[in-house]
Amino acid sequence: MNEDKMKKFLNISLLTLTVLSTLSLASCKNEVDNIFDEDAIIRLDKAKAEYMDILTSNGGRWQLEYFANEEEQGYIYLMTFAKDGSVKISGHNKWINQVLVGNSNTSAFGSEVSMWEVIADNGPVLTFNTYNRFFHLFADPYDIPSQSSAQASTDVNESGYGHAGNYEFDIMKYSGDTLYLTGKKPTQTERYLNMIMTRVKSSAEDEVYMNEVVAMTDSFFNSKVNQVYINLPNGVRWIVKNGATSILKMFREDADEISTSETHNIIITHDGLSFMDPVTLDGYVIKNFIRQPDGSLLCRDDNQTTMTADVLSNIFSNKSFIWKGELNNMGGVFADMLNTITAELKAYNKSTLNFAQIAYESNENDNTGSFIVSFNIKKGSVKYNPGYYVTIEKVNDNQVRFTVAPQGNSYGELYAKNCPTIRQFVDTFAATAYDLKANSLLAPVRMTMSQSGSAGNYIIWDLQ
Amino acid sequence: MKKIQYYISALLLVAVAALSLSSCSKEKLGPTIFPDVDETLDPNSYSYQLDKFLKENYLDKYNLTFLYKMPDISTNMNYNLVPAKYENAVDLAVLCKFLWFDVYDKIAGPDFLKLYGPRILLMVGSPALNPSSGSETVGLAEGGVKITLFKLNSMNVNSFEMMNDLYFHTMHHEFAHILHQTKTYPPEFNTISVGKYDATNWTGRGWEVTSVGFLTPYASSEYREDFAETIACFITYTQEDWDFYLSLAARGWETDAAEDATDAVYYSFYYYPNNDSEQEKKPVYLADEKNIAKVTVDGTVHTYWKNERDKDGNRIEVYAVEDKDGIEGDKAILQKVDIARQWFRDAWGVDLDALRQEVQDRQKEYNMDVLRKWVYDIH
């Protein structure tokens, strides 16, 4: 080897040496940079302690919006966490009634103390780790009992699954007095259900609080009002059916119900309702609704979308509805006329007036029909229903006007002759337009019909 | 000189490379990343009494963790399971001590369960229901370390039969598994009922399995289950029950269905309407929900049915089915017990009969109010 070759060799050797050393040193650094200040176990322990403190502080009272699976409605549970590891869990639903008395036909309140803990898994996990018969019922693997004998014949055997609900929840985050949870066990469709738990500031007794939730349920969806509407900001309406089941059937008003309807399960909370998952309707994403003073629901996500029943004039003139007017629910000239009618009936045949009613009467022969205002009159054990035909004209969304036909039904004519104030009562309907006001815009089962400009003259009608 | 430089360079290169490589293997471990855990029990805890009882009677004594606060991760996630009720966990904790751990301490010595006992007892509130097979697991032993007991939420401490069936039987069954997984049992046991096991269709079998030498249908699933069942049944069955099952084993059994039919119903007695042997014989079912005959231990079913009449008003005489299977079931069972007895004595130095007697005595006398005080009197 000559000198040049030797130099060249030495240079290559030194270069190789340098590269090798660098690589060798780098190879020792076999851990990624530590982007956290502390080890995972320390951080997990701190997270556990932090969440336990959050859960037990300020009275430790929380409302869990619980979904057992994707097929059922959600249920509210009220939980009071104590530092000693106990938790009082209260609920009010039909499955609690099943536990208490063996049937799930009605809802019942139940409350029991069991235990809880925040444990470490892949992250902090809230677990309810001793059995609470009013909460773990959704995780029990037993067959779900049929709710009616008719259902029994088609009942699915759920043995091994039950409701397949969770009682362990990954704590995802805490923000604004809300804990965001995810059920640890997936559903049968391999989904992990998200749920939220919000701090409850109310000091009401658990049963009172849960009764308020149940009352909220009734105020939203009444089985007498068979459909309500989601009113989107663009003016499009979606029809909502089966509200009373909390498993909503929804379709666009101008679309075909059978081919386009979709099903969404909801939970009714202490102050509104939430869909289990966000729902996109005509590009609008909705999930959480809050109850308004007028009984309607306003979407908290966009502050524009509402949920109401149909406009009141349509509701009042719905041909399938029957409205009953109790005597003590009338005021002004109507109350005055009632007194006269009562006296006339007594003088005529000693009969008594029970209530008034507006309903649509179909004529089966020619497929026509008409609304009829009738009076329920009782003489001895016999009841008579003198009636007078009216048409209802919708003046605007909240106003109607009546036209009364000159002739009533046979008893209508008879009683008009002998108790003329009965006819006068109905004729008064035609004198003016009437303003309509409902107890709730979502479940308008009580309607106040008052004369426009003379609100003191009114009748309150109850939907039958 | 240049050659020397060449060799020095090469040597240096090798040395540095060797040092660089070796440096990776000499990294020292740092301190543990796990924080110290305070094991002190909090007297203000909701579960302090039970936790203290479990620590003193299971953890400190046997290094056994009695898990009653169910972590779902500890179970088979294929099952939908729920935790046990706290009060029921208390009941089973004291019963396990009284009917299992204290028994072995007394008969096998205080170190026996310390050495061979399970390390984890997991309490589960619900059964492990398998939707596909319709079967239900009431106990599990895993790797000789962990025993899982199910259905705590439906247990009734006032029903001795139920407690025996679900727990005491299961405890001894699962512990037998742990023992034979540690020291295997004599292989001759497997030869007694060879050819009669069926790991798939045992769920469709009934008490007719006694006729071929099994104490329970589950015992007929495989050798190891048969061994564990033999021990568990021998220890926990009352003498009356034991004699009854032996009497079942000594009988003949028939079925109208094909023998391999999963829904075959077997019967060991039949009767002739009007006592007329010319007429069609009717089966008398045993151990069936629609049981129409209660057979006494010594088989005196005729006496039982004297003056009885069927729904048509016919007087009933009951006749035994002829035992034609060629197997003396009762003798097979006793032979299995003998092997287990000998194995207990030789492998473990434990007198199985004394163990059985101790369990029998305790089964008769336990008083839950007294036992619960072990927990609820802790302050």
Could you read off the pLDDT of B93-133 as tens digits, one per residue? Answer: 999 999 999 999 999 999 999 998 889 999 999 999 887 77
Which residues have a Cβ under 8 Å from the Cβ of A308 and sit 6 or more positions away? Answer: A228, A229, A231, A296, A297, A441, A442
Q: Is residue A212 part of a domain?
A: no
Band (B273; pLDDT cuts 50, 70, 90): low
Q: Are B78 and A186 in contact (CB under 8 A)?
A: no
Contact A20 B33 (CB under 8 A): no
* Cross-sheet strand order for the sheet of A194-199: A108-115, A86-93, A75-81, A61-66, A194-199, A178-183, A168-175, A124-127, A117-120
Band (B70; pLDDT cuts 50, 70, 90): confident
| Residues from chain B contacting residue A23 (CB–CB below 8 Å) | 20
Band (A11; pLDDT cuts 50, 70, 90): low
Contact B82 A139 (CB under 8 A): yes
The percentage of residues in chain A with a pLDDT greater than 90, rounded to a whole number, is 75
Q: How far is Cα A157 from Cα A131, in angstroms, rounded to an integer?
A: 23
pLDDT at B299: 43
Residues forming a β-bridge with A285: A280
DSSP secondary structure string, A4-53?
A: HHHHHHHHHHHHHHHHHHHHHHHHH--S----SSS-HHHHHHHHHHHHHH
Average pLDDT over residues B292-296: 43
pLDDT at B306: 38
A68 and A139 both lie in a single domain: yes
| Residues from chain A contacting residue B127 (CB–CB below 8 Å) | 141
Contact B134 A159 (CB under 8 A): yes
B138 vs B249, residue with greater confidence: B249
Could you read off the pLDDT of A200-249 as tens digits, one per residue? Answer: 998 899 999 999 999 888 788 888 998 999 999 999 999 999 998 899 99
What would you measure as the largest C-alpha separation in chain B, in angstroms? 126
How many Cβ atoms from other residues are within 10 Å of residue A19's Cβ?
Answer: 10
Question: Over chain A, what is the mean pLDDT?
Answer: 90
Query: Among candidates A446, A460, A403, which has minimal Cα distance to A428?
Result: A403
Does the pLDDT of residue A152 top 70, yes or no? Answer: no
| Residues from chain B contacting residue A80 (CB–CB below 8 Å) | none
Structure tokens that stand for A264 in this block: 């969404």
Name the minimum distance, in Å, from the CA of B32 to any CA of chain A: 10
Q: Are B229 and B219 in contact (CB under 8 A)?
A: yes
DSSP secondary structure string, A138-172?
A: GT--SPPPPSSHHHHTT----TTTTT---SEEEEE
Q: How far is Cα A170 from Cα A47, in angstroms, rounded to an integer?
A: 12
Contact A160 B46 (CB under 8 A): no
User: Cβ of B137 under 8 Å from any chain A Cβ?
Assistant: no
Domain count, chain A: 3
Least CA distance to A22: which residue of chain B? B20
Q: Are A384 and A422 in contact (CB under 8 A)?
A: no
A291 and A194 both lie in a single domain: no
The ipTM is 0.76
Question: Which of A90-94, A185-189, B338-342 is predicted with the least confidence, judged by mean pLDDT?
Answer: A185-189
A179 and A132 both lie in a single domain: yes
Question: Over chain B, what is the mean pLDDT?
Answer: 81
Q: Is residue A23 part of a domain?
A: no
CA A114 to chain centre: 28
Range 21-40 of B in CB contact (< 8 A) with A: 21, 23-24, 27, 33-35
Q: Cα-flanking dihedrals φ and ψ of residue B126, to 5°? A: -105, 170
Band (B301; pLDDT cuts 50, 70, 90): very low
| Residues from chain B contacting residue A167 (CB–CB below 8 Å) | 72, 82-83
Band (A144; pLDDT cuts 50, 70, 90): confident
| Residues from chain A contacting residue B12 (CB–CB below 8 Å) | 13, 17
The pTM assigned to this predicted structure is 0.79
Does the pLDDT of residue A383 top 50, yes or no? Answer: yes
Average pLDDT over residues B273-279: 55
Q: Say which of B3, B13, B129 has its CB closest to residue A141.
A: B129
Could you read off the pLDDT of A242-283 as tens digits, one per residue? Answer: 998 899 999 999 999 999 999 999 999 999 999 999 999 999
Least CA distance to B23: which residue of chain A? A28
A303 and A328 both lie in a single domain: no
A107 and A228 both lie in a single domain: no
Question: Which of A148-157, A250-259, A329-338, A374-383 is predicted with the least confidence, judged by mean pLDDT?
Answer: A148-157
| Residues from chain B contacting residue A136 (CB–CB below 8 Å) | 82-83, 125
Contact B6 A6 (CB under 8 A): yes
Q: Say which of B3, B5, B83 has its CB closest to residue A129.
A: B83
Which one-letter DSSP state was computed for residue B315?
Answer: B
Average pLDDT over residues A355-369: 85
Could you read off the pLDDT of B315-331 as tens digits, one per residue? Answer: 556 667 888 888 899 99
Could you read off the pLDDT of B22-65 as tens digits, one per residue? Answer: 555 555 777 777 777 777 899 999 999 999 999 999 999 999 99
Q: Say which of B34, B77, B134 has its CB closest to residue A185.
A: B77
Name the minimum distance, in Å, from the CA of A400 to any CA of chain B: 57
Could you read off the pLDDT of B150-193 as tens digits, one per residue? Answer: 999 999 988 877 888 888 898 899 889 989 988 999 999 999 99
How many Cβ atoms from other residues are within 10 Å of residue B137's Cβ?
Answer: 16
List, in sequence order, every beta strand (DSSP E) within A282-367: 284-291, 297-299, 306-308, 323-326, 330-331, 352-363
Which one-letter DSSP state was computed for residue B154?
Answer: G
- Residue of A126, A130, A136 best to disrupt the B interface, most CBs of B under 10 A: A130
pLDDT at A19: 60
| Residues from chain A contacting residue B21 (CB–CB below 8 Å) | 24
The domain boundary, picked from A308, A342, A358, lies at A308
Q: Say which of B23, B84, B126 has its CB closest to residue A130.
A: B84
pLDDT at A444: 94
Name the minimum distance, in Å, from the CA of B71 to any CA of chain A: 7
Contact B79 A141 (CB under 8 A): yes
CATH code of residue A89: 2.40.128
Name the minimum distance, in Å, from the CA of B304 to any CA of chain A: 38
Name the minimum distance, in Å, from the CA of B11 to any CA of chain A: 11
User: Cβ of B61 under 8 Å from any chain A Cβ?
Assistant: no
A351 and A436 both lie in a single domain: yes
Band (B286; pLDDT cuts 50, 70, 90): very low
pLDDT at A244: 85
Band (A399; pLDDT cuts 50, 70, 90): very high
pLDDT at B291: 38
Q: How far is Cα A238 from Cα A264, in angstroms, rounded to an integer?
A: 13
| Residues from chain A contacting residue B8 (CB–CB below 8 Å) | none
A56 and A197 both lie in a single domain: yes
Least CA distance to A138: which residue of chain B? B82
pLDDT at B305: 41
Band (B288; pLDDT cuts 50, 70, 90): very low
pLDDT at B292: 40
Does the pLDDT of residue B281 top 70, yes or no? Answer: no
Write the class of the CATH domain B49-182+349-376: alpha beta
Does the pLDDT of residue A4 top 80, yes or no? Answer: no
Residues forming a β-bridge with A298: A290, A306
Name the percent of chain B in helix, strand, coil, to the closest 5: 50, 10, 40
Name the minimum distance, in Å, from the CA of A30 to any CA of chain B: 9
Name the minimum distance, in Å, from the CA of B73 to any CA of chain A: 9
Could you read off the pLDDT of B200-259 as tens digits, one per residue? Answer: 888 778 888 999 999 999 999 999 999 999 999 999 999 988 998 998 898 888 777 776
- Residue of A84, A131, A133, A192 best to disrupt the B interface, most CBs of B under 10 A: A131
Least CA distance to A19: which residue of chain B? B17
Task: Report the SS3 class of residue B220.
Answer: helix
Average pLDDT over residues A191-200: 95
Does the pLDDT of residue A343 top 80, yes or no? Answer: yes
How many Cβ atoms from other residues are within 10 Å of residue B230's Cβ?
Answer: 27
| Residues from chain A contacting residue B27 (CB–CB below 8 Å) | 28
Q: Is residue A333 part of a domain?
A: yes
Could you tell me the residue ranges of all domains in chain B?
Answer: 49-182+349-376
A46 and A144 both lie in a single domain: yes
- CB pairs < 8 Å spanning A and B: 136
- Residue of B66, B82, B122 best to disrupt the A interface, most CBs of A under 10 A: B82
Average pLDDT over residues A80-89: 98
Q: Is residue A393 part of a domain?
A: yes
Q: What is the dihedral of CA A40, A43, A46, A48, to 10 degrees?
A: -60
Which one-letter DSSP state was computed for residue A136?
Answer: G
| Residues from chain A contacting residue B2 (CB–CB below 8 Å) | 1, 3, 6
Structure tokens that stand for A39 in this block: 């080890």
Name the minimum distance, in Å, from the CA of A175 to any CA of chain B: 27
Determine the structural domain holding residue A171 and report its residue range: 41-149+159-205
Band (B10; pLDDT cuts 50, 70, 90): low
Could you read off the pLDDT of A18-64 as tens digits, one per residue? Answer: 665 555 555 555 556 667 778 888 888 899 999 999 999 999 999 99
For helices B223-236 and B352-365, angle between their N-to-C axes, nearest 10 degrees: 50
What would you measure as the largest C-alpha separation in chain A, in angstroms? 145
Which residues have a Cβ under 8 Å from the Cβ of B177 and sit 6 or more positions away? Answer: B141, B144, B224, B228
pLDDT at A22: 56
Q: Say which of A10, A13, A41 has its CB closest to residue B35.
A: A41
Buried b (16+ CB within 10 A) or exposed e, A407-429: ebbeebeebbeebebbbebbebb
A409 vs A363, residue with greater confidence: A409
| Residues from chain B contacting residue A161 (CB–CB below 8 Å) | 80, 131
Q: Say which of B5, B85, B131 has its CB closest to residue A159.
A: B131
Does the pLDDT of residue B374 top 50, yes or no? Answer: yes
Band (A122; pLDDT cuts 50, 70, 90): confident
Q: Is residue A414 part of a domain?
A: yes
Band (B81; pLDDT cuts 50, 70, 90): very high
Average pLDDT over residues A400-421: 93
Band (A187; pLDDT cuts 50, 70, 90): confident
Q: Is residue A154 part of a domain?
A: no
Angle CA(A277)–CA(A72)–CA(A207) in degrees, nearest 5?
100
Does the pLDDT of residue B294 top 60, yes or no? Answer: no
How many Cβ atoms from other residues are within 10 Å of residue B224's Cβ?
Answer: 17
Q: Say which of B2, B20, B130 has its CB closest to residue A160.
A: B130
Contact A140 B44 (CB under 8 A): no
A451 and A368 both lie in a single domain: yes
A70 and A194 both lie in a single domain: yes
DSSP secondary structure string, A201-245?
A: ---S-HHHHHHHHHHHHHHH--TTS-EEEEE-TTS-EEEEE-GGG
A144 and A232 both lie in a single domain: no
A287 and A200 both lie in a single domain: no
